[in-house]
Every structure is written in structure tokens, then in C-alpha cells.
A and B are shown apart, each in its own frame.
Chain A
């Protein structure tokens, strides 16, 4: 089974621009979560999607948004980029099939640099 795939792996943007990151979950996984990782704040939960619905959202401004498609693939968007948005953005998928194993499977991340 292929793992969680995130694209692009690296990107550079300038302040004020917007960015879209993509995540393909493991086949059969219906839940996709997004996390931001920075040296200062560590790993912080952005949001979680299941069956195309955002079920939970972390404490981030409205510039951060996401969506999930019917095939469970997910995208997140950050508008009006700020220098502080430079981070590794990690996507994780989970089967959410009632097996209740509590596992999240992470991709390798998209490293965003804002200049």
C-alpha cells in the first residue's frame, strides 16, 4: 500500500501570496488531518476532514483553510502569506473504520518558505 503522499515537497513563496498544498491519503483511509510544524511552536493541529466535512479545527486564523474531495484527497490553502507561515506542513490519514487503533499515518510533509 502506498503511504500518504504530499505535494509539493518544497516551495518558496513571498509575503502576500497564497499557497495550496495537496495530500493523498492511504487508500481506504477516510480521515485526513493537517499539522503545522515550526521550531518555535512545534507541531500544531490545523484541521481534520472526514467524508468531505471539516470536523475539527485548531487555533489558526481564517487565512488557513482546507477541503476534502470525494476520493478523500485533501488540500489546504494559506492566503496572504506571512513570514511566520514558514513551516513544515504535515498531512496524516487515518482509516476511521471503527477499528479504533488510534493510528495516524503521516506524509513526509511540504516545506513552505515565505520570503
Chain B
């Protein structure tokens, strides 16, 4: 069955890089996503990567995918206080969520001044 695992907490100093890791089990996953959730809000899509890619960069965000190890990571460069949130990794067999996304439990990113 599908399963997505993440560490529950990550604490970093402001200005440092944050690296949030995720492992998934379904080798059929075609799309992998990172979502951000701030307190009291819904989920905001940060970035996504197709399974035929191994890296994607978007401004301060870098996504690395190791398909062999089924490992996905999100690197946030120059972490700011506004990055404090819960980050969810998710996988899907098809784009657009028609078959539903499988989410990890989320990583709480804590920023130290």
C-alpha cells in the first residue's frame, strides 16, 4: 500500500538552509509534491516534480528526487521566519489528484532567531 513518511519536526536558524526529507513506498508514483500549511490556513502548493526528473529548482526552493531509494527532499535556502509552517510531502499516481494524493504527516519547520 501507499505510505509517505516524514520527520515531525525540524529546527533551523534564520538564514541557514532547511532540508526536509520524505520517503514514499509506491514505486508507481508519477507526481510528487511539497505543500505548505500555515496556522489556520489550507494547503499551499510549493512545488512538484515528475518522477522522470531528479531535480527541480524554483527560487529558494530545490527539490531532489532519488527514485531508486524513493526519497524526496525539499531544500529551502536562506530560511526566513515567514517559512515557519508545516510542510507536507505528497505522492500521486496521476496529476491533478484524480486518484487522490497520499500525504505524509507533515514536518513542522521551526525557525530560531
Q: A-side interface residues toward B, CB under 8 Å?
A: 4, 31, 33, 35, 42-45, 48, 50, 55-56, 58, 90, 92, 94-96, 100-109
Contact B99 A104 (CB under 8 A): no
What count of chain B residues pass the 8 Å CB interface test?
A: 26
Contact A56 B96 (CB under 8 A): no
- Number of A-B pairs whose CB atoms are under 8 Å? 77
Quick one: closest B residue to A46, CB to CB? B100
Which residues of chain A are near B31, meaning CB under 8 Å? 102
Contact of A42 among B33, B92, B99, B105 (CB under 8 A): B105
Contact B44 A106 (CB under 8 A): yes
Contact B48 A45 (CB under 8 A): no
Contact of A104 among B40, B45, B104 (CB under 8 A): B45
- The majority secondary structure among interface residues of chain A is strand
Contact B97 A48 (CB under 8 A): yes
Which residues of chain B are near A42, meaning CB under 8 Å? 103-106
Is B43 an interface residue, CB under 8 A from the partner? yes
Is B88 an interface residue, CB under 8 A from the partner? yes
Which residues of chain A are near B100, meaning CB under 8 Å? 33, 45, 48, 56, 58
Contact of A102 among B40, B42, B95, B104 (CB under 8 A): B95
Quick one: closest B residue to A43, CB to CB? B103
Most chain B CB neighbours (cut-off 10 Å) among A43, A45, A101: A43
Contact of B45 among A31, A96, A105, A108 (CB under 8 A): A105
A96 to B97, CA, bound (A): 9
